[in-house]
């Protein structure tokens, strides 16, 4: 997991003073290319890591080898925890390491680092969307979350006119390349797509955080709600076990898989936009997936099969007959 590696690379730099990408790769059992990318990621994120080419060169942490992070500025410490700390996939070990790093920080920077570590959730799964550029106001909203300051934003919702509102920024979520702001408002907790924010003014008023609020838990509920809104149609059936990896690749988070039954087939629940769309997605699986309901999906699959037979059945028979003609002629 990259969060683990970023922290590990930083600790290696502190312990050794200067390392090469090859040495990092050997230490962490990764490729040299991956090690170089991780070192570059730390440098690009603002951590004081620099490289020196030539004989005796390598990568170093500005100020030489250290046993703590007292050489980092407040902004650099905050960036480290924004980059490495919030990953939803971070293991208990990396979270424990981050807690130790927090304790190593000078007191003035510790609060900001702790706030940054809880300010972002990284959710790597996609919702079938192409890459979206980094939103213009992402950095200022990160600053508002970490500093715990209210913000006045102008927001353009989908098919709605722009409106201005004061929000209490509680955290940020990256869903693949799409960023969301979770904030408390007069109307309650709301989720805003950051690329639809048109302007941000951070105020001096402190954020009032709802009691017991947990960013990861809240995002899980938001994600479930959005998934339900996006793909409300459900179909169910039984699938050959060998088809499950392919089904997962096609449906992603829109599939639920049960335990294999006595017949060896696996029960599946599939979510899509309509009976026609789920039938279109399942058509390629043929007899590997037997749809048990609802009836309109079976009807849609039957209609697709009839259309394909009409379109290609005669052509396939003719092409097959032509294909054997030369062989028959040579025999005679």
Please tell me the least confidently modeled range out of 79-88, 100-109, 253-262. Answer: 79-88
Q: Is residue 223's pLDDT more than 90?
A: no
Give residue 323's pLDDT band: very low, low, confident or very high (50, 70, 90): very low
pLDDT value of residue 88? 41
Single pTM value for the model: 0.49
For residues 53-73, average pLDDT: 61
The number of residues making up the chain comes to: 332
Fold of the 232-320 domain: Alpha-Beta Plaits (3.30.70)
| Whole-number Å distance between alpha carbons of 97 and 110 | 15
pLDDT of res. 41: 77
Position of tokens 């600053």?
A: 143
Pair 122, 87: CB distance under 8 Å: yes
The answer to whether residue 212 scores a pLDDT higher than 60 is yes
Which pLDDT does position 174 carry in this prediction?
Answer: 80
pLDDT tens for each residue of 41-62: 777 666 777 787 767 678 887 6
CATH fold group of domain 2-118: Arc Repressor Mutant, subunit A (1.10.10)
Question: pLDDT tens for residues 103-160?
Answer: 555 555 556 666 666 666 656 555 655 556 678 888 889 889 888 999 999 999 877 8
Instruction: Provide the mean pLDDT of the chain.
Output: 77
- Name the residue with tokens 């809880």: 118
Mean pLDDT of 168-184: 87
The pLDDT value recorded for residue 91 is 47
- Residue spans per domain, the chain: 2-118, 138-229, 232-320
Residue range 91-99: average pLDDT? 53
| Cβ-proximal residues to 22 (8 Å cutoff; 6+ apart), any chain | 32, 35
Q: By mean pLDDT, which of 161-170, 231-240, 274-283, 306-315 is the weakest?
A: 306-315
Write the burial class of residue 331 (CB in 10 Å: 0-12 exposed, 13-18 middle, 19+ buried). exposed
With a cut of 50, say whether residue 327 has pLDDT above it: no
Tell me which CATH code domain 138-229 carries: 2.30.30.520
Most confident option among 23-37, 92-106, 122-136, 187-201: 187-201
pLDDT for residue 280 is more than 90: yes
Report pLDDT for 150. 96
Task: Identify the pLDDT of residue 176.
Answer: 67
Among 36-40, 73-77, 143-147, 246-250, name the one with the lowest average pLDDT.
73-77
Cα distance between residue 31 and residue 22, in whole Å = 8
């Amino acid at each position: 997991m990259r969060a683990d590696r970023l922290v590990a690379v930083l600790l290696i730099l502190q312990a050794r003073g200067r390392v090469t990408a090859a040495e990092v790769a050997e230490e962490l059992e990764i490729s040299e290319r991956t090690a170089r990318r991780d070192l570059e990621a730390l440098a690009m994120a603002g951590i004081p890591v620099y490289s020196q080419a030539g004989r005796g060169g390598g990568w170093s942490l500005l100020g030489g080898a250290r046993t703590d992070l007292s050489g980092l500025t407040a902004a650099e410490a905050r960036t480290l925890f924004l980059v490495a700390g919030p990953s939803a996939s971070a293991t208990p070990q990396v979270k424990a390491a981050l807690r130790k790093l927090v304790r190593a920080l000078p007191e003035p920077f510790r609060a900001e680092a702790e706030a940054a570590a809880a300010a972002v959730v990284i959710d790597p799964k996609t919702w079938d969307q192409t890459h979206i550029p980094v939103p213009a106001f992402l950095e200022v909203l990160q600053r508002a979350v970490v500093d715990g300051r209210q913000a006045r934003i102008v927001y353009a919702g989908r098919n709605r006119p722009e409106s201005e509102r004061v929000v209490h920024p509680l955290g940020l979520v990256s869903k693949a390349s799409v960023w969301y702001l979770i904030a408390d408002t007069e109307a309650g907790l709301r989720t805003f797509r950051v690329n639809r924010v048109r302007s941000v003014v951070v105020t001096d008023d402190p954020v009032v955080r709802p009691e017991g609020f947990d960013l990861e838990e809240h995002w899980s509920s938001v994600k479930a709600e959005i998934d339900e809104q996006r793909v409300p149609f459900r179909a169910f059936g039984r699938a050959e076990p060998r088809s499950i990896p392919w089904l997962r690749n096609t449906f992603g988070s829109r599939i639920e898989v049960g335990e294999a039954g006595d017949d060896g087939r696996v029960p599946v629940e599939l979510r899509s936009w309509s009976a026609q769309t789920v039938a279109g997605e399942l058509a390629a699986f043929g007899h590997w997936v037997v749809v048990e309901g609802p009836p309109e999906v079976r009807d849609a699959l039957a209609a697709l099969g009839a259309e394909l037979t009409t379109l290609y059945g005669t052509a396939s028979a003719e092409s097959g007959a032509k294909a054997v003609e030369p062989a028959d002629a040579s025999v005679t």
